Amino acid sequence: MARKIRKPAEAESEDEVRRAVREHYKELALQEKPCCGSGKSTMCGCGLYSDSELGVVPSESSSVSAGCGNPTAIAGLKEGMTVVDLGSGGGIDAFLSSKKVGPKGKVYGIDATPEMILRARKTARENGFDNVEFRLGEIEHIPLPDGCADVIISNCVINLSPQKQQVFDEAFRILRPGGRLAVSDIVLLKELPESLKADMAAWSSCVSGAVLEGEYLGAIKKAGFEQVKVEERAVYDHEQLSSYIGGSSEPTAVTSFSGKKDRMDLSGTVASSKVTAVKPAGKERLR
Ligand SMILES: C[S@@+](CC[C@H](N)C(=O)[O-])C[C@H]1O[C@@H](n2cnc3c(N)ncnc32)[C@H](O)[C@@H]1O
Protein backbone atom coordinates (compact mmCIF):
# COMPACT_ATOMS: atom_id res chain seq x y z
CA MET A 1 0.00 0.00 0.00
CA ALA A 2 1.39 3.45 -0.87
CA ARG A 3 2.26 5.50 2.18
CA LYS A 4 1.73 9.20 2.52
CA ILE A 5 5.04 11.02 2.24
CA ARG A 6 5.64 14.73 2.67
CA LYS A 7 9.07 15.96 1.86
CA PRO A 8 10.74 19.11 0.62
CA ALA A 9 10.13 19.72 -3.06
CA GLU A 10 13.81 19.87 -3.95
CA ALA A 11 14.64 16.54 -2.33
CA GLU A 12 14.49 13.94 -5.09
CA SER A 13 13.99 10.95 -2.89
CA GLU A 14 13.22 9.85 0.60
CA ASP A 15 16.81 8.70 0.92
CA GLU A 16 17.94 12.23 0.18
CA VAL A 17 15.84 13.47 3.09
CA ARG A 18 17.37 10.83 5.36
CA ARG A 19 20.89 11.72 4.20
CA ALA A 20 20.34 15.43 4.89
CA VAL A 21 18.95 14.68 8.35
CA ARG A 22 21.96 12.48 9.18
CA GLU A 23 24.37 15.19 7.99
CA HIS A 24 22.63 17.77 10.17
CA TYR A 25 22.83 15.62 13.31
CA LYS A 26 26.36 14.49 12.53
CA GLU A 27 27.43 18.13 12.92
CA LEU A 28 25.60 18.37 16.23
CA ALA A 29 27.17 15.11 17.45
CA LEU A 30 30.66 16.41 16.70
CA GLN A 31 29.99 19.77 18.29
CA GLU A 32 31.77 20.57 21.53
CA LYS A 33 29.95 23.73 22.61
CA PRO A 34 26.53 23.37 24.26
CA CYS A 35 23.63 23.44 21.82
CA CYS A 36 21.65 25.96 23.93
CA GLY A 37 24.31 28.66 23.82
CA SER A 38 22.97 31.86 25.32
CA GLY A 39 19.60 31.61 23.57
CA LYS A 40 16.30 31.12 25.38
CA SER A 41 14.88 28.57 22.96
CA THR A 42 13.06 25.59 24.42
CA MET A 43 13.27 23.74 21.10
CA CYS A 44 16.91 22.80 21.43
CA GLY A 45 16.50 20.74 24.58
CA CYS A 46 17.18 23.91 26.58
CA GLY A 47 15.14 24.60 29.69
CA LEU A 48 13.24 21.32 29.36
CA TYR A 49 14.80 19.44 32.27
CA SER A 50 14.93 20.20 35.98
CA ASP A 51 18.24 20.84 37.70
CA SER A 52 17.91 17.53 39.52
CA GLU A 53 17.42 15.70 36.21
CA LEU A 54 20.40 17.49 34.67
CA GLY A 55 22.39 16.57 37.77
CA VAL A 56 22.14 12.83 37.06
CA VAL A 57 22.93 12.82 33.34
CA PRO A 58 26.41 13.28 31.88
CA SER A 59 27.05 16.78 30.49
CA GLU A 60 28.28 15.15 27.24
CA SER A 61 24.64 14.18 26.63
CA SER A 62 22.86 17.31 27.85
CA SER A 63 25.19 19.56 25.84
CA VAL A 64 23.87 18.10 22.56
CA SER A 65 20.30 17.58 23.74
CA ALA A 66 17.99 18.56 20.88
CA GLY A 67 14.56 17.56 22.12
CA CYS A 68 11.34 19.53 22.38
CA GLY A 69 9.99 18.05 25.61
CA ASN A 70 10.81 15.59 28.35
CA PRO A 71 9.16 12.26 27.51
CA THR A 72 10.48 10.46 30.60
CA ALA A 73 8.20 12.72 32.66
CA ILE A 74 5.09 11.09 31.13
CA ALA A 75 6.44 7.59 30.55
CA GLY A 76 5.55 6.03 33.93
CA LEU A 77 8.94 4.32 34.17
CA LYS A 78 9.44 1.78 36.96
CA GLU A 79 12.32 -0.34 38.16
CA GLY A 80 13.11 -3.34 36.00
CA MET A 81 11.39 -2.04 32.85
CA THR A 82 12.81 -2.25 29.33
CA VAL A 83 12.70 1.14 27.59
CA VAL A 84 13.43 2.01 23.96
CA ASP A 85 14.32 5.59 22.99
CA LEU A 86 13.63 6.25 19.31
CA GLY A 87 16.17 8.76 17.94
CA SER A 88 18.27 8.84 21.11
CA GLY A 89 20.79 11.46 19.91
CA GLY A 90 23.41 12.20 22.58
CA GLY A 91 21.43 9.99 24.98
CA ILE A 92 19.95 12.40 27.52
CA ASP A 93 16.56 10.63 27.78
CA ALA A 94 18.16 7.19 27.68
CA PHE A 95 20.39 8.14 30.64
CA LEU A 96 17.45 9.59 32.58
CA SER A 97 15.50 6.38 31.89
CA SER A 98 18.47 4.30 32.99
CA LYS A 99 18.33 5.89 36.46
CA LYS A 100 14.59 5.23 36.68
CA VAL A 101 14.60 1.57 35.61
CA GLY A 102 17.69 0.73 37.69
CA PRO A 103 20.18 -2.12 37.28
CA LYS A 104 17.45 -4.73 36.66
CA GLY A 105 16.05 -2.66 33.81
CA LYS A 106 17.42 -2.07 30.33
CA VAL A 107 17.43 0.91 27.98
CA TYR A 108 18.00 0.79 24.22
CA GLY A 109 18.73 3.98 22.30
CA ILE A 110 18.23 3.79 18.53
CA ASP A 111 19.66 6.42 16.18
CA ALA A 112 20.43 6.58 12.46
CA THR A 113 23.41 8.94 12.76
CA PRO A 114 26.62 6.96 13.38
CA GLU A 115 28.37 9.92 15.05
CA MET A 116 25.50 10.27 17.55
CA ILE A 117 25.67 6.56 18.38
CA LEU A 118 29.46 6.71 18.86
CA ARG A 119 29.16 9.78 21.09
CA ALA A 120 26.36 8.24 23.19
CA ARG A 121 28.22 4.91 23.55
CA LYS A 122 31.38 6.72 24.71
CA THR A 123 29.34 8.73 27.23
CA ALA A 124 27.68 5.55 28.54
CA ARG A 125 31.02 3.74 28.84
CA GLU A 126 32.82 6.60 30.55
CA ASN A 127 30.00 7.24 33.01
CA GLY A 128 29.18 3.65 33.95
CA PHE A 129 25.72 3.34 32.38
CA ASP A 130 25.87 -0.45 32.10
CA ASN A 131 22.15 -0.94 31.47
CA VAL A 132 22.08 1.31 28.38
CA GLU A 133 22.83 0.07 24.88
CA PHE A 134 22.89 2.29 21.79
CA ARG A 135 22.10 0.65 18.45
CA LEU A 136 22.62 2.18 15.03
CA GLY A 137 19.45 1.94 12.98
CA GLU A 138 16.40 3.61 11.54
CA ILE A 139 13.25 3.92 13.60
CA GLU A 140 11.31 2.78 10.52
CA HIS A 141 13.19 -0.55 10.87
CA ILE A 142 13.86 -0.86 14.61
CA PRO A 143 16.69 -3.35 15.27
CA LEU A 144 14.85 -5.09 18.14
CA PRO A 145 12.52 -8.12 18.33
CA ASP A 146 8.72 -8.15 18.64
CA GLY A 147 7.22 -7.43 22.06
CA CYS A 148 10.54 -6.66 23.80
CA ALA A 149 9.74 -3.22 25.25
CA ASP A 150 7.63 -2.11 28.20
CA VAL A 151 7.83 1.56 27.20
CA ILE A 152 8.86 3.48 24.10
CA ILE A 153 9.95 7.08 24.41
CA SER A 154 11.01 9.55 21.74
CA ASN A 155 11.93 13.22 21.84
CA CYS A 156 11.61 15.39 18.74
CA VAL A 157 12.42 12.69 16.20
CA ILE A 158 9.35 11.21 14.49
CA ASN A 159 8.69 14.57 12.78
CA LEU A 160 11.96 13.98 10.90
CA SER A 161 10.80 10.68 9.40
CA PRO A 162 9.43 10.64 5.83
CA GLN A 163 7.54 7.44 6.87
CA LYS A 164 5.78 8.30 10.10
CA GLN A 165 3.15 5.55 9.81
CA GLN A 166 5.90 2.98 9.52
CA VAL A 167 7.54 4.34 12.69
CA PHE A 168 4.33 3.91 14.68
CA ASP A 169 3.79 0.43 13.18
CA GLU A 170 7.29 -0.51 14.31
CA ALA A 171 6.74 0.98 17.78
CA PHE A 172 3.58 -1.16 18.06
CA ARG A 173 5.49 -4.26 16.95
CA ILE A 174 8.28 -4.00 19.54
CA LEU A 175 6.02 -3.08 22.49
CA ARG A 176 4.63 -5.88 24.66
CA PRO A 177 0.82 -5.96 24.93
CA GLY A 178 -0.13 -3.38 27.57
CA GLY A 179 3.08 -1.41 26.84
CA ARG A 180 3.14 2.36 26.65
CA LEU A 181 4.21 4.92 24.05
CA ALA A 182 5.29 8.33 25.44
CA VAL A 183 6.61 10.84 22.93
CA SER A 184 7.38 14.55 22.72
CA ASP A 185 7.30 15.80 19.18
CA ILE A 186 6.81 18.78 16.92
CA VAL A 187 3.37 18.95 15.29
CA LEU A 188 1.58 21.57 13.25
CA LEU A 189 -1.63 23.31 14.25
CA LYS A 190 -1.85 25.07 10.85
CA GLU A 191 -0.19 24.35 7.52
CA LEU A 192 3.25 25.91 6.98
CA PRO A 193 3.97 28.40 4.19
CA GLU A 194 4.96 26.62 0.95
CA SER A 195 8.46 28.15 0.95
CA LEU A 196 9.23 26.68 4.36
CA LYS A 197 7.76 23.29 3.42
CA ALA A 198 10.19 23.14 0.52
CA ASP A 199 13.26 23.89 2.64
CA MET A 200 15.39 20.85 3.52
CA ALA A 201 17.15 22.74 6.32
CA ALA A 202 13.76 23.45 7.90
CA TRP A 203 13.02 19.72 7.71
CA SER A 204 16.28 18.83 9.48
CA SER A 205 15.50 21.50 12.08
CA CYS A 206 12.29 19.64 13.04
CA VAL A 207 9.84 22.04 11.40
CA SER A 208 8.88 21.23 7.82
CA GLY A 209 8.71 17.45 8.30
CA ALA A 210 6.06 17.93 10.97
CA VAL A 211 2.44 17.04 10.15
CA LEU A 212 -0.84 18.35 11.51
CA GLU A 213 -1.50 17.10 15.03
CA GLY A 214 -4.67 15.29 13.93
CA GLU A 215 -2.75 13.39 11.24
CA TYR A 216 -0.06 12.48 13.80
CA LEU A 217 -2.60 11.11 16.30
CA GLY A 218 -4.42 9.33 13.47
CA ALA A 219 -1.24 7.48 12.49
CA ILE A 220 -0.77 6.30 16.10
CA LYS A 221 -4.35 4.96 16.18
CA LYS A 222 -3.95 3.35 12.76
CA ALA A 223 -0.94 1.41 14.06
CA GLY A 224 -3.28 -0.19 16.62
CA PHE A 225 -2.70 1.95 19.71
CA GLU A 226 -5.52 2.88 22.10
CA GLN A 227 -5.95 5.58 24.76
CA VAL A 228 -4.13 8.06 22.49
CA LYS A 229 -3.90 11.28 24.45
CA VAL A 230 -2.20 14.69 24.15
CA GLU A 231 -0.91 15.16 27.69
CA GLU A 232 0.52 18.63 27.12
CA ARG A 233 0.98 21.05 24.25
CA ALA A 234 3.35 24.04 24.08
CA VAL A 235 2.43 26.33 21.19
CA TYR A 236 5.32 28.41 19.86
CA ASP A 237 4.94 32.07 19.09
CA HIS A 238 6.76 33.67 16.19
CA GLU A 239 9.65 34.90 18.34
CA GLN A 240 10.29 31.47 19.88
CA LEU A 241 10.28 29.85 16.48
CA SER A 242 12.56 32.54 15.01
CA SER A 243 15.09 32.11 17.78
CA TYR A 244 15.06 28.41 17.00
CA ILE A 245 15.21 28.10 13.22
CA GLY A 246 16.86 31.46 12.72
CA GLY A 247 19.25 30.86 15.64
CA SER A 248 22.99 30.45 15.58
CA SER A 249 22.80 27.07 17.32
CA GLU A 250 21.48 25.46 14.15
CA PRO A 251 24.13 23.65 12.10
CA THR A 252 22.24 24.39 8.86
CA ALA A 253 20.75 27.77 7.98
CA VAL A 254 17.03 27.81 7.17
CA THR A 255 17.29 30.30 4.32
CA SER A 256 13.61 30.29 3.35
CA PHE A 257 12.60 31.59 6.75
CA SER A 258 12.08 35.28 7.17
CA GLY A 259 12.42 36.23 10.81
CA LYS A 260 10.28 39.29 10.07
CA LYS A 261 6.79 38.75 11.40
CA ASP A 262 5.11 40.94 8.78
CA ARG A 263 6.52 38.68 6.01
CA MET A 264 5.95 35.28 7.54
CA ASP A 265 3.98 35.10 10.79
CA LEU A 266 4.27 31.63 12.23
CA SER A 267 2.60 32.33 15.59
CA GLY A 268 0.35 29.45 16.60
CA THR A 269 1.48 27.24 13.72
CA VAL A 270 4.01 24.94 15.39
CA ALA A 271 3.69 23.16 18.72
CA SER A 272 5.50 20.64 20.82
CA SER A 273 3.04 17.98 21.99
CA LYS A 274 3.51 15.25 24.55
CA VAL A 275 1.49 12.24 23.48
CA THR A 276 0.85 8.94 25.25
CA ALA A 277 -0.82 5.78 23.95
CA VAL A 278 -1.15 2.14 24.98
CA LYS A 279 -0.80 -1.09 23.03
CA PRO A 280 -3.92 -3.01 24.03
CA ALA A 281 -3.29 -6.19 26.00
CA GLY A 282 -3.87 -9.28 23.91
CA LYS A 283 -4.01 -7.46 20.59
CA GLU A 284 -1.54 -7.78 17.77
CA ARG A 285 -0.96 -5.61 14.73
CA LEU A 286 -4.21 -4.55 13.06
CA ARG A 287 -2.86 -4.12 9.56
C1 LIG B 1 16.21 16.48 17.15
S2 LIG B 1 17.35 15.22 17.50
C3 LIG B 1 16.73 14.61 19.07
C4 LIG B 1 17.72 13.74 19.77
C5 LIG B 1 17.30 13.29 21.17
N6 LIG B 1 16.04 12.62 21.17
C7 LIG B 1 17.27 14.46 22.14
O8 LIG B 1 16.21 14.74 22.70
O9 LIG B 1 18.31 15.09 22.32
C10 LIG B 1 16.86 13.96 16.36
C11 LIG B 1 17.68 12.68 16.42
O12 LIG B 1 16.97 11.68 15.69
C13 LIG B 1 17.86 10.99 14.83
N14 LIG B 1 17.05 10.53 13.69
C15 LIG B 1 16.43 11.31 12.77
N16 LIG B 1 15.73 10.54 11.91
C17 LIG B 1 15.91 9.25 12.30
C18 LIG B 1 15.44 7.99 11.81
N19 LIG B 1 14.64 7.91 10.75
N20 LIG B 1 15.83 6.87 12.47
C21 LIG B 1 16.65 6.95 13.56
N22 LIG B 1 17.11 8.11 14.06
C23 LIG B 1 16.75 9.25 13.45
C24 LIG B 1 18.94 12.00 14.50
O25 LIG B 1 20.12 11.37 14.11
C26 LIG B 1 19.05 12.77 15.80
O27 LIG B 1 20.01 12.21 16.65
Of these ranges, 24-28, 238-242, 264-268, the one predicted with the greatest mean pLDDT is: 24-28
Q: Select from 251, 23, 26 the least CA-distant residue to 117.
A: 26
pLDDT at 103 over 90: yes
Residue from 18, 25, 27, 65 to probe ligand 1 pocket by mutation (most atoms less than 8 Å from CB): 25
Domain edges within the chain: 14-278
pLDDT digit string, tens, across residues 23-67: 999 999 998 766 554 444 444 566 899 999 999 999 999 999 999
3 state DSSP class of 192 = coil
Q: Where are the beta strands (DSSP E) in the chain?
A: 82-86, 106-111, 132-136, 149-155, 175-188, 226-235, 270-278
Nearest CA to ligand 1 atom 20: 138
Residue from 60, 93, 157 to probe ligand 1 pocket by mutation (most atoms less than 8 Å from CB): 157
pLDDT digit string, tens, across residues 169-221: 999 999 999 999 999 999 999 999 888 888 888 899 899 999 999 999 999 99
Q: Which fold has domain 14-278?
A: Rossmann fold (3.40.50)
Determine the pLDDT at residue 37: 45
Single pTM value for the model: 0.91
Q: How far is the CA of 261 from the centre of ligand 1 (A)?
A: 29
